[in-house]
Amino acid sequence: MKQIVLTILSGTAILCATSLSVKDIDTMVAKIQTTRSGMNAAQFESVSDPFIYFEVNSTTGAFMAPKEQNDDTIIIGGIMNNKVYIDGSWKRIGEKVGNYTIRSIGVNTVVLYNGRKIKKLFISNKKDNNLIKIQGR
C-alpha cells in the first residue's frame, strides 16, 4: 500500500515538473523576487550596534548585562548674570561642559549641544531651587 502511494505521488511530481518549461519557471521566480534598495554609507554609519555584550561575574560565573554608561548627567548648580555653575565652575555661552558646548543660558534653563544632541537643562521653580537671587538691602 505504501509503495502504491509513493509511486502515485512521485508520478504526479514528475508530471507537474515536466509540464513547466524553463521560461515558465523563470517567470514565476521573477514575480517573487523584489529588488532591495539597500543603504548608503552615511545611513550605515548611523546605525547603532544591535548586540548586547554581557559581562561574566568572576565569583558566580553568571552572565550580567553591562551597566549603562551615562556620562551625560549634568547638574546645574546655579544661574547668575548669564553664567551657569556646572562642573564646579562658572561657565558662559560657548564654553565646554563635558562633551557639550553651552548654546544659551536663560533665567532657569541652559541649552547644551554637541553637534548631534541638544540638551535642555532646567532648574525647578520649587522653593528650595538652586536659582541665585540677589536682593537689595
pLDDT of 37-60, one tens digit each?
A: 778 888 877 777 777 777 787 788
**Sequence ranges of the domains in the chain:** 2-32
Which three three-digit cell numbers place residue 22?
Answer: 524553463
pTM: 0.42
> Residue 134: pLDDT above 80?
no
Compute CA 101 distance to the chain's CA centroid, rounded to the nearest angstrom. Answer: 22
Q: What pLDDT score was predicted for residue 91?
A: 94
| pLDDT tens profile 101-113 | 999 999 888 999 8
Q: How many helices (H) and strands (E) does the chain have?
A: 3, 9
Measure the CA–CA gap between 130 and 97, rounded to whole angstroms.
Answer: 18
